[in-house]
Amino acid sequence: MISSYNLHEAPILIIDNEPENCRLLSDILKDAGYRNVIISADARDVVGLYALHRPAVVLLDVQMPHIDGYELMSQMRLLDPNGFPPVLVLTEATDRDIKLKALSSGAKDFLAKPVDPAEVIARTKNLLEIGMLHRELRNQNRLLEEKVRERTRQLQESQIEVVYRLARACERRDQETGEHILRMSRYSAAIARGLGLPPEECDLVRHASPMHDIGKIAIPDSILLKAGPLTEDEWVIMRVHADMLSDGTSELVKAGQVIAFTHHERWDGTGYPSATSGEDIPLYGRICAMADVFDALTSKRVYKAAWPVNRAIDEMHRKKGNHFDPALIDVFDSILPEIIEIKNGGEGNRYRGAKA
């Protein structure tokens, strides 16, 4: 509810090229208890006064020299498109076209000259109440939007946290540390950014890539931890691990499913599970394939020692055009300093201080 105090403190701007009219209207409103009345008899000063005082209602003569009231309404609206206050037009004219033009320019009500003091007070009060109610509604909507954004952010952070925790649990099953998924996610985001993907897609790739091997949680230790080569039957079990993410509804899970299902595909079609080739392999899968292999080569595994970075890079170049998308290898080369920084424990130039 609008209090009488708030109503009488609201700034009111009066614009009339006749100074006597300005003073008359000001006296009427001040006698009625309105304490913040600003007047102007020169239309050229109005935009500055409007910007300074941000009135809650405007009493405006439309027939003025220099700048007419219609143009003034247009200029004031440009200053405050979302909070343009109610305008009470002052006019001696009774012409229908003038009133329609005023209404189409933003006017909310009319006050005939010569003015009736009681009518001035009543119409001004009505428009003040309407304007202040609209302002309160806008403020409430803004607060609600901020709460929705904050809740959405918290929900997204919760989803991401669950993804990383589950992915780390999967990695530990085959004696990897959680650092593998952190490095791989950062490599993937760096490659996506180097490719020129929008920031929101880079973030999506970064947070979905930890799910690339989520199906490890359902693979027996006898296969997952086997130091020697796998049998064909064991490979069949390894190749179905992406199914856990099928039928996801969120963008994050959908992207994770794509990555899990396609990051073992190869550019030349010799990968698995679908033997897809070239650009038929989804881009996220091609990106994460490179990130996963680079980290696998440069990390210690149960079946191998960690390779030096230079040797890993040479190996990836050797597989350009058969295992990896040639264009992505070129991108990888262009961001190599950032890749090496991530490998050495840094976040990468654009991820310093960012959360996992």
| β 57-61/37-40 pair status | unpaired
Place of tokens 């890079």: 313
Instruction: Classify residue 240 by burial, with Cβ atoms within 10 Å: 0-12, 13-18, 19+.
Output: middle
Amino acid in position 139: N
Q: Catalytic one among 108, 125, 216, 300?
A: 216
Nearest to 56 by CA among 138, 142, 143: 138
* Helix, strand, or coil (residue 45): helix
Sign of the dihedral through C-alpha 226, 231, 237, 240? positive
Quick one: tokens of 327?
Answer: 């264009």
Nearest to 213 by CA among 175, 177, 246, 245: 245
Quick one: tokens of 50?
Answer: 């409007």
Cα radius of gyration (the chain):
34
Distance of alpha carbon 115 from alpha carbon 113, whole angstroms: 5
Any alpha helices (H) in 245-335, and if so which ranges? 251-262, 283-297, 309-318, 326-334
The answer to whether residues 348 and 186 touch, using CB atoms and an 8 Å cutoff, is yes
Say whether 216 is catalytic: yes
161's CB contacts (< 8 A; 6+ apart) are: none
The answer to whether residues 85 and 55 touch, using CB atoms and an 8 Å cutoff, is yes
* Positions marked active-site: 216
